[in-house]
Amino acid sequence: MRRKYPLLIILFFVCSYSYAQSLSFENLLSLTSMSSAQAHDFLIVAKGFKATGTQAVNGKNMEEYKIIHGTADKSETILIGESIKSVNESVSRPVIYNTTQESDIDNLLTEARKSQLTQIFQGADLNRNIYRFDNSLFRVAVSIAFDKKWGSVDVQQKE
């Protein structure tokens, strides 16, 4: 019986430091059509993010949510833009996901490639690889730094 306790303690610490990706590609697509309250509840209650205020991106205010895993250099940030009403009265909002986890961005790129979206572009600029996906509902841009120290996924619903 005494041998089990050290093993349980070791397993507890290993599990507490293990890390899993917080959001899936489908979660990011779903966030584009959620209301502010739904997105807030989903990110804070279900996924463990913290609201950190607003941030201006390209002249537009976006709500910022952040989660930090262990150290400040391992973080995920979600930016959710203001609602945009289309001509058919549907409401959508832009979503930008940023991470410093190489495994997160690799997983999201893999999920995007397996999704119903079609990859329409693969290229690079001076700092990053760029992948663009498209279908009748969404436009998605995935950017990955060459050194894989950061990555982002920009999701927008088409009007």
Asked, for residue 131, whether it belongs to a domain, the answer is yes
CB-based contacts of 75, cutoff 8 Å, min separation 6: 66, 67, 68, 69, 99, 100
Per-residue pLDDT, averaged over 135-145, amounts to: 96
As a whole-number percent, the residues of the chain with pLDDT over 90 amount to: 73
The reported pLDDT for the residue numbered 20 is: 64
User: pTM score, two decimals?
Assistant: 0.84
Q: What is the pLDDT of residues 34-67, one digit of tens each?
A: 999 999 999 999 999 999 999 999 899 999 999 9
Residue 74 pLDDT level (bands cut at 50, 70, 90): confident
Structural domain of residue 87, as residue ranges?
Answer: 20-157
26: in domain: yes
Q: Is residue 146 part of a domain?
A: yes
pLDDT band at 23 (very low <50, low <70, confident <90, very high): very high
Separation CA 27–CA 104 (nearest Å):
13
d(CA 8, CA 66): 31
Would you say residue 4 lies in a domain?
no
Structural domain count of the chain? 1
Rg (CA), the chain: 18
Distance CA 34, CA 44 (A): 14
The SS3 of residue 11 is helix
**37 in a structural domain:** yes
Which residues, 6 or more positions from 101, have their beta carbon under 8 angstroms from its beta carbon?
A: 19, 21, 69, 74, 76
pLDDT band at 130 (very low <50, low <70, confident <90, very high): very high
145 is a domain residue: yes
124 pLDDT higher than 80: yes
Say whether pLDDT at 135 is over 70.
yes
Q: Is the pLDDT of residue 5 over 90?
A: no
Phi (first) and psi of residue 156, to 5 degrees: -135, 140
Instruction: Considering only residues 13 and 142, tell me which one the structure prediction assigns the higher pLDDT.
Output: 142
Q: Do the domain assignments include residue 149? A: yes
Q: Indicate if the pLDDT at residue 17 is higher than 60.
A: no
Average pLDDT over residues 15-21: 50
User: 7 in a domain, yes or no?
Assistant: no
Distances (CA, A) of 46 to 11, 25, 28, 120, 138: 24, 16, 14, 33, 24
d(CA 91, CA 101): 31
